[in-house]
Amino acid sequence: MPTPYHAPPRASFWQKLGPGGAASLGLALVTGLLLVPVWFRLRRVVEGAAGDPLEPADAILVLGRRLQDDTLTPVYEARLAHAEGLWRQGLAPRILVAGGTTGRAARSEAEAGRDWLLARGVPGAAILLEDRSQHTLENLFNVRSHLRAEGWRTLLLISDPLHLARARATALGLGLDVRCSPAPSCPPLPGSLAWWRRAVFEAFFLHWYHTGLFYSRLIRSERQLERVT
């Protein structure tokens, strides 16, 4: 079995694409021009923003977000605050924080998230890090390895509402058992122009994910499929 591709720390956009990424992006752009696939995905994005009913899980997973000059963005803080609240409710005994070193940051997204949680009183023993990934797919791929090693099965996945449809699709493609919970205080304001603009972008990214999965299966690329399934 080929070794899955992992983008290096502070990867550029093209480095993040990996094998087959440019081809799948091209296919997504071409088919997206028809508008029908993207509008269909937009419905999934909007519906997915509501999340799932809460149930206990083996771990709470907070997906990372690029830092700004080593500082957490409001979106990332909102994700972490929601995870902290669910942990205090007893929905899971531990919080997994995902995200590698991206952009010009001197520390990983996971490390920054851990420090935020520690400052809020969450004990270090309850916080686990995945600090190598460069994007959502790698977040979930690397976390899957951790879950398998520990014998855990269920994840309570935390992100901003409009990101959840793509995160769920990626997690299901990797065979993860997840329930999604949106961070309610994440900007932008629901229903605003910025919110709808972000929803359209997420619809395209979701379309790109499904296009890439279809393309990898079509050409029977073991290396690409190992990365996404």
pLDDT grade, residue 103 (50/70/90)?
confident
Domains by residue range for the chain, with CATH? 20-46+194-228 (no CATH), 50-184 (3.40.50.620)
The CA–CA distances, whole Å, from 33 to 43, 201, 210, 216 equal 17, 13, 15, 21
Query: What is the pLDDT averaged over residues 49-53?
Result: 96
pLDDT in tens, 108-144: 999 999 999 999 999 999 999 999 999 999 999 999 9
**What's the pLDDT score for residue 34?**
74
Q: Is the model's pLDDT at 217 over the cut of 80?
A: yes
Contact 163, 169 (CB under 8 A): no
Contact 206, 168 (CB under 8 A): no
pLDDT grade, residue 38 (50/70/90)?
confident
CA distance 77 to 89: 18
Q: Is the model's pLDDT at 1 over the cut of 70?
A: no
Q: Is the model's pLDDT at 2 over the cut of 60?
A: no
- pLDDT above 90 coverage of the chain, percent: 70
